[in-house]
């Protein structure tokens, strides 16, 4: 059954039946409840805090010792589906990376899959920031993330530096590239 079929069936219902159906969905489905709670009372800041806490707990669980990257990524995905501002979405994505870097610095190197998850989210957050003209707003935090990865293995720091330079080029970077190209030409 597709969306068109669902719409046809819903149009057949009277107002009271439709309200009962939505109320039933609200009671039985956690994501529907959250969607309607946000729809009725769109407090983005409160919602952001809730999802930021979920991400933090994915790395630093209240019980046990096992981090769950899947839960952190799911929090980002769920937040995005609720239609919150792109500013807060970019902030949440960057927070995921910041928390992963803090976790690594607290407990030591993890594994390649862990860093790939952070790298993907880092690039995604910067891409969103560029699209929405938010790079300047987050520049200090992005720079701190890159600085805080110094000494982390698996090529993680080097990759983040390369990404950072792509999104925040400086005149020094352009001079360095020109000098490197000139040296390569002279060597031929």
Instruction: Give me the pLDDT at residue 42, please.
Output: 72
Give start and end residues of each alpha helix (H) in the chain.
3-12, 15-28, 30-40, 44-59, 69-81, 86-107, 112-131, 135-148, 156-167, 171-187
What would the pLDDT profile of 35-62 be if each residue is shown by its tens digit?
Answer: 776 666 677 888 899 999 999 999 999 8
Task: Please say whether the beta carbons of 69 and 58 come within 8 A.
Answer: yes
DSSP-derived letter for residue 60 is S
Residue, of 185 and 6, whose pLDDT is higher: 6
Rounded to whole angstroms, how far apart are CA atoms 125 and 139? 12
Q: Percent of the chain beyond pLDDT 70?
A: 88
pLDDT at 180 over 60: no
**CA 167, 142, 162, 67 torsion: positive or negative?**
negative
What would the pLDDT profile of 65-88 be if each residue is shown by its tens digit?
Answer: 799 999 999 999 999 988 889 999
Assign residue 153 a region (left: φ > 0; alpha: ψ between -120 and 50; beta: otherwise): beta
* Banded model confidence at residue 175, pLDDT cuts 50, 70, 90: very low
pTM of the model: 0.77
Rounded to whole angstroms, how far apart are CA atoms 75 and 55? 6
End-to-end CA distance of the chain: 65
Instruction: Give me the pLDDT at residue 54, please.
Output: 96
DSSP-derived letter for residue 41 is S
CA angle 101, 119, 72 (to 5 degrees): 65
């Amino acid at each position: 059954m597709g969306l068109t079929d669902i719409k046809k069936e819903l149009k057949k219902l009277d107002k009271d039946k439709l309200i009962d159906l939505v109320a039933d969905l609200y009671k039985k489905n956690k994501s529907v409840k959250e969607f309607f709670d946000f729809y009725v009372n769109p407090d983005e800041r409160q919602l952001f805090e809730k999802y930021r806490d979920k991400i933090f707990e994915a790395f630093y669980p209240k019980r046990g010792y096992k981090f769950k990257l899947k839960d952190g990524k799911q929090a980002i995905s769920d937040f995005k589906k609720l239609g919150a501002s792109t500013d807060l979405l970019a902030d949440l994505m960057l927070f995921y990376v910041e928390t992963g870097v803090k976790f690594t610095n607290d407990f030591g190197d993890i594994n390649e899959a862990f860093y790939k998850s952070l790298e993907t989210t880092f690039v995604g957050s910067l891409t969103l920031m560029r699209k929405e003209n938010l790079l300047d707003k987050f520049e200090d935090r992005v720079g701190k993330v890159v600085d805080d990865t110094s000494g982390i293995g698996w090529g993680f720091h080097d990759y983040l530096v390369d990404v950072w330079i792509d999104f925040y080029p400086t005149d020094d970077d352009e001079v360095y590239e020109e000098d490197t190209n000139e040296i390569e030409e002279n060597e031929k």
